[in-house]
């Protein structure tokens, strides 16, 4: 019953919360995904054979205005038919990431409210460079047409 209340309060519906530690300057949540059958990404068969476990620290949205880290116990599964070892897909974190999707949405929402990136970085205990990566434009190609204005204007004694 207590675990359900914590899951609902923290909005961690996909995770089983094992414990919560509330320190003076931070909050640590220990959780894991429930064990179930998953589809192998290689051959498509269902498997529930567990290969091993791995505890991964993941930054999450602040709780009680304190930086929060979820220590997620991830399970790797092994396919019985092809032998492929894989992590199951989830909606909580993106592949190869150490920050939750909720934290990314929280940062973008804070930026919409005209809060400085350095203030956001301090509040959620992340690097300010990560916020600039969220905002960076990945388009590296030039446009098809490039316009250049040839008007000189009043630039004093210098020629254009």
The domains of the chain are located at: 2-96
Q: Are 57 and 69 in contact (CB under 8 A)?
A: yes
The predicted structure's pLDDT at residue 158: 62
Whether the pLDDT of residue 138 is over 70: the answer is no
Quickly list DSSP for 30-70: EEEPPP--EE-TTT--EE--EEEEEEEEEEEEEETTEEEEE
Burial of 55 (0-12, 13-18, 19+ CB in 10 A): exposed
Global confidence as pTM: 0.74
Closest CA to 40 of 83, 69, 92, 104: 83
Q: How many CB atoms lie within 10 A of CB 51?
A: 15
Neighbouring-strand partners of residue 69? 28, 59
Q: Are 31 and 17 in contact (CB under 8 A)?
A: yes
pLDDT band at residue 152 using 50, 70 and 90 as cut-offs = low
Rounded distance, CA 5 to CA 110, Å?
27
pLDDT band at residue 153 using 50, 70 and 90 as cut-offs = low
Ramachandran region, residue 156 (left: φ > 0; alpha: ψ -120 to 50; beta: rest): left
- Listed range (53-62, 94-103, 108-117, 138-147) with the worst mean pLDDT: 138-147
Tens digits of residue pLDDT in 26-84: 999 999 988 889 889 888 899 989 899 989 999 999 988 899 999 999 999 999 888 89
Rounded distance, CA 65 to CA 13, Å?
21
* Residues 146-159: b if buried by 16+ CB within 10 A, e if exposed: eeeeeeeeeeeeee
pLDDT band at residue 155 using 50, 70 and 90 as cut-offs = low
- Listed range (10-24, 88-102, 134-148) with the worst mean pLDDT: 134-148
94 vs 150, which has greater pLDDT? 94
Tens digits of residue pLDDT in 2-28: 567 777 788 887 888 899 999 999 999
23 vs 147, which has greater pLDDT? 23
The predicted structure's pLDDT at residue 2: 55
């Amino acid at each position: 019953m207590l675990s359900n209340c914590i899951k609902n309060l923290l909005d961690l519906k996909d995770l089983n919360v094992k414990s919560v530690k509330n320190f003076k300057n931070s909050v640590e949540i220990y959780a894991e995904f429930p064990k179930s059958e998953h589809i192998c990404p290689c051959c498509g068969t269902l498997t529930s054979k567990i290969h091993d476990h791995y505890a991964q620290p993941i930054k999450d949205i602040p709780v009680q205005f304190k930086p929060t880290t979820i220590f997620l116990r991830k399970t790797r599964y092994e396919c019985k038919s092809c032998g492929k070892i894989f992590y199951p897909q989830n909606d909580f974190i993106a592949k190869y990431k150490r920050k939750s999707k909720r934290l990314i949405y929280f940062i973008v929402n804070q930026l919409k409210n005209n809060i400085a990136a350095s203030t956001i970085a301090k509040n959620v205990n992340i690097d300010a460079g990560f916020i600039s990566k969220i905002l960076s434009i990945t388009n590296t190609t030039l446009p098809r047409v490039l316009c250049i204005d040839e008007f000189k204007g009043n630039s004093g004694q210098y020629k254009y």
